[in-house]
A and B are shown apart, each in its own frame.
Chain A
């Protein structure tokens, strides 16, 4: 009996332009479209290349053996002192802002997707549903819900996000920086909680963004392994490249918020364990009696498993606070007891609220786990230090 073939099919009649846009997004510029009066303007340019230094213990474990790894970042052109960072510079807005974001793409074509922010399609920054920027475009969006978001390039995203074209985007509640939206009814121990407005003050803010790199990918060009553009046959067999490696992710450099984790274990020994990161951009210093807010984002391509040596309340995920009406009223915060591992996959965020009651040093560990075969690649560590 002949084997049945389930066919892919051809491009449906009338869909040729959509199929071409899908793999070869057009370019566009100008904006903002349908403008509303802005309350905040945030400028960003991309992409800028930087070379992140690698400690010798890390360089030796990468395929190329280089003492740096090439990253692409999104620059704040208005900040001459600190505009070129990895992760790309933090954006802070307030709930209720109307944001205009002039974005320049000086080198190649790019987009910015404001992940978790939900604007119109042309302001969503996805090339294959709208356009890529060649030159300049002013994105426009509101920030209607206080919480933790991020922004990233959505062109050839598998590569551009890996290369570092992302940064955090925090929407503060109307009360401003130092407050976070939460429903803490039934959650004891956080002073200053305002049950009418569903906000609570915090004293210390930690931004933990674990990521990892496959150094082989960092030698590639912007359009690596993209499909050929054939307007007359946008899904033709000959348009597909077949020699790419962008499905094959083998991380060999591990970071928390841009700080490289340096292995303390011998090469080849698994699991690889990093030295405790003490960089003040990652390690947290608090005083007894402080409320610590941890904003956690998996910006990598592994499954990340986290363990914190303090009790923590999960108060929000993906920018939306548990239990806060009206649209988030169907959920509630929950306790992650000290030492309880939990996992996030790519792009997920969780906000944790910690009450530092006693002095001490409390560990935080990130395990980077292969998304298919569960290989534990690396464990990175940092600490929360609570002084009396």
Chain B
């Protein structure tokens, strides 16, 4: 484990580091639009732009589960306030970054970015005492999907909410060219896959577009600071909650020696009761403006990248309907063989040493390409647009819901995860994939 330059600072001291080359920004939190967001939710200013350090703090918060049960958590907060998960942070490979991490909790915590250091080492703050601020500086690694978390007493602190996504785009991703993959050093097969999007006969439509072109938001329901980066990209942070342990933490327990929570007992006794993707469950992650940060939504021929992360202590088996997906990278290893499957294993952070070919064992950070091809098993002439081929379906209304556009689930197939509070199927770890219209970008009738 690498320990880059860490500067211990007093929390009242204001330190400004002039840094250059921070071309992408720590642009807010997936949680900023979370149900009104609490006292400091809503929208927040961009952080980390203009060479400023990125301020993160560790905070107490209550997170309402899908059945409105409030559950105590420890979470990371960005300028927009606390988030569950913590703010999604975007940077470009090679950026000089500084994170200023303040511990507002009552016990020692730590900040780590898995695999983001030199040669794949972790970036780590070292212990951060209550009330202390530690600055962590490092160079943004190769393009990929990274997980930041509190590694102390694993998996306790991470599972109690101290985690978030750190996304690195290749250099020049904003200009979209010549970059056409999410990686700084793609394998030959991944490069060929992205080259074929929009050019090969079997992938009619668009190439993958790393950053939304132009200056106007196309998805106004997303937080404005990250909207450009989620144009044809989604982040799915999987988490599981056993409120019994959160209640212990709320009562003052922690997993430090003598703190009342034994990490081994935590792992043995953890019985997840709520299952979340980006901090939401069930219908709230599938329908409505607040779901847009998770929902895969596009026209046929609009390929999307999905960055899946598992911060929890179970091993989800996410299954996508309507399209198989390509496995591009597993724990930041870009795949030589990009398999095309419909269900995938997400491992835990601790599973890194499991045997087996990467794509079979899965990882805690996995990238998919969803090519958004026309669902291939709709019978009929493939040259006829679906709006002409299946008009009866697209005009069917059942109990007030029109069956257009074409709506399908993506869900964890380990079906215990499709519950909340022991039942209430399917209010668990799920979101949807929606096909809005045909290849010619004519919407399906609604």
Contact = CB atoms under 8 A, between A and B. Distances in A.
A binds B: yes
Q: Tell me if B's interface is mostly helix, strand, loop or mixed.
A: loop
A8 B64 contact: yes
Interface stretch (A84-92, A185-193, A335-343): A335-343
B120 interface: no
Contact of B38 (A6, A344, A371): A6
B59 to A, nearest CB: 7
A119 B378 contact: yes
Contacts of B354: 343
Nearest to B36: A7
Interface stretch (A140-148, A260-268, A287-295): A140-148
B375 A119 contact: yes
B407 interface: yes
A218 to B, nearest CB: 15
A322 B273 CA distance: 37
A126 B408 contact: yes
B400 A17 contact: yes
Contacts of A350: 360
Contact of A9 (B36, B60, B268): B36
B425 A157 contact: yes
Contacts of A322: 337, 339
B379 A225 contact: no
B418 A157 contact: yes
Contacts of B202: 326-327
A301 B102 CA distance: 40
B340 interface: yes
A331 interface: yes
A18 B291 CA distance: 13
B416 A158 contact: yes
B294 interface: no
Interface stretch (B163-171, B228-236, B313-321): B313-321
B300 to A, nearest CB: 12
Interface stretch (A57-65, A66-74, A237-245): A237-245
A117 B36 contact: no
Contacts of A33: 390, 392-393, 396
Interface string B236-278: 0000100000000000000000000000000111111100000
Q: Tell me if A's interface is mostly helix, strand, loop or mixed.
A: loop
Interface string A140-177: 11111100000000001111011000000000000000
A166 to B, nearest CB: 11
Nearest to A26: B399
A184 B76 CA distance: 49
Contact of A320 (B289, B322, B340, B416): B340
B34 A7 contact: yes
Interface string A309-351: 0000010011110100011101110100000111111111010
Contacts of B2: none
B407 A227 contact: no
Contacts of A225: 419, 422-425
A11 B408 CA distance: 20
Nearest to B273: A247
Contact of A237 (B67, B83, B375, B422): B67
Contacts of B321: 113, 118, 124, 126
Contact of A6 (B83, B391, B414): B83
Contacts of B401: 17-18, 21, 26
A3 B70 CA distance: 12
Contact of A343 (B66, B361, B389, B413): B361
A30 to B, nearest CB: 10
Contacts of B70: 5
A118 B343 contact: no
Contacts of B391: 34
B81 interface: yes
A334 B357 contact: yes
Interface stretch (B131-139, B188-196, B205-213): B188-196
Contact of B37 (A6, A17, A26, A113): A6
Nearest to B65: A8
A126 B401 CA distance: 14
Contacts of B117: none
Contacts of B282: 22-23
A246 B422 contact: yes
Given A21-B399, A157-B426, A242 B342 contact: no
Given A28-B398, A240-B424, A247-B419, A141 B377 contact: yes
B322 A124 contact: yes
A303 interface: yes
A247 B244 CA distance: 14
Interface string B22-38: 00000000010011111
B224 to A, nearest CB: 19
Interface in A220-257: 224-227, 234-235, 237, 240-249
Contacts of B175: none
A89 to B, nearest CB: 21
- Which of B273, B360, B432 has the most chain A CB atoms closer than 10 A to its own CB? B360
Interface stretch (A41-49, A128-136, A272-280): A128-136
28 contacts: A4-B82, A7-B34, A11-B288, A22-B426, A23-B424, A26-B398, A34-B389, A34-B390, A118-B376, A145-B376, A161-B415, A225-B423, A225-B424, A225-B425, A241-B421, A243-B422, A245-B422, A246-B419, A247-B272, A318-B340, A318-B341, A319-B324, A320-B324, A327-B202, A330-B193, A343-B360, A346-B317, A346-B413
Interface of A: 2-9, 11-12, 15, 17-23, 26, 28, 33-34, 36, 98, 113-124, 126, 128-131, 140-145, 156-159, 161-162, 224-227, 234-235, 237, 240-249, 301, 303, 314, 317-320, 322, 326-328, 330-332, 334, 340-348, 350, 371-373
Interface of B: 31, 34-41, 59-68, 70, 72, 75, 81-84, 189-190, 192-193, 200-202, 240, 267-273, 279-280, 282-284, 286-290, 313-317, 319, 321-324, 326, 336-345, 354-357, 360-362, 371, 373, 375-380, 386, 389-393, 396, 398-401, 403, 406-409, 413-427, 432
For the complex of A and B, the 5 pairs showing the least CB-CB separation, nearest first, are A225-B423, A244-B422, A244-B423, A9-B35, A345-B317
